[in-house]
Amino acid sequence: MTSKSNKIRMAKAAIRKTGKKKPNAIDTERVKFVDYKDINLLQRFMSDRSKIRGQRIAGTTVQQQRDIANAVKNAREMALLPYAKRVSSTRAPRPGSDREDREDRGDRGDRGDRGERGDKYAPRETAVAATENTDVVEIETNGEEA
């Protein structure tokens, strides 16, 4: 006896299409040995960011995929292939992150709670020290009184 979920699973399996197998580049070119010096062949199995493509995407067998991976790793070690390419693309700015708005934040001068270099733990003058440093200065005027 089969359950309802098993019948549904079997029906979905019957509906699924068996995809067309990707042609194997190694078999079509009749390559007997995957060499790490054959960069043109190895680049077919790598993405634009220099990642090794998967077996399902490349259409290779397990043994061929292992040989390709070892050859790519050897070629990278010998500096024939890059480890990673930087794909430069211009990204759109994030919404709400305008740099112009940051400049227009008003006057942010000395707030008085920091020293000259912006050190907020700098010692401040006390009232006692201010009274000790006061000197009386007489200003001479040329016979005129204010």
Token pair, residue 1, equals 């006896």
pLDDT for 116: 61
CA angle 129, 133, 137 (to 5 degrees): 155
Of 70, 76, 59, 64, the C-alpha closest to 20 is 59
Span 60-73, pLDDT tens digits: 999 999 999 999 99
**How far is 28 from 80, CA to CA, in rounded Å?**
24
Biggest CA pair distance of the chain:
126
pLDDT, tens digit only, all 146 positions of the chain: 567 788 888 877 777 666 677 788 888 888 899 999 999 999 999 998 999 999 988 889 999 999 999 999 999 999 999 998 877 777 777 776 665 655 666 666 666 666 565 555 666 565 555 556 666 767 777 766 65
pLDDT for 118: 57
Strands (E), 36-85: none
Question: Looking up tokens 């067309």, which residue turns up?
Answer: 20
The structural domains of the chain, ordered by start, are: 35-87 (4.10.640.10)
Span 19-32, pLDDT tens digits: 677 788 888 888 89
Considering the entire predicted model, what is its pTM? 0.49
Number of continuous H segments (helices) and E segments (strands) in the chain: 7, 0
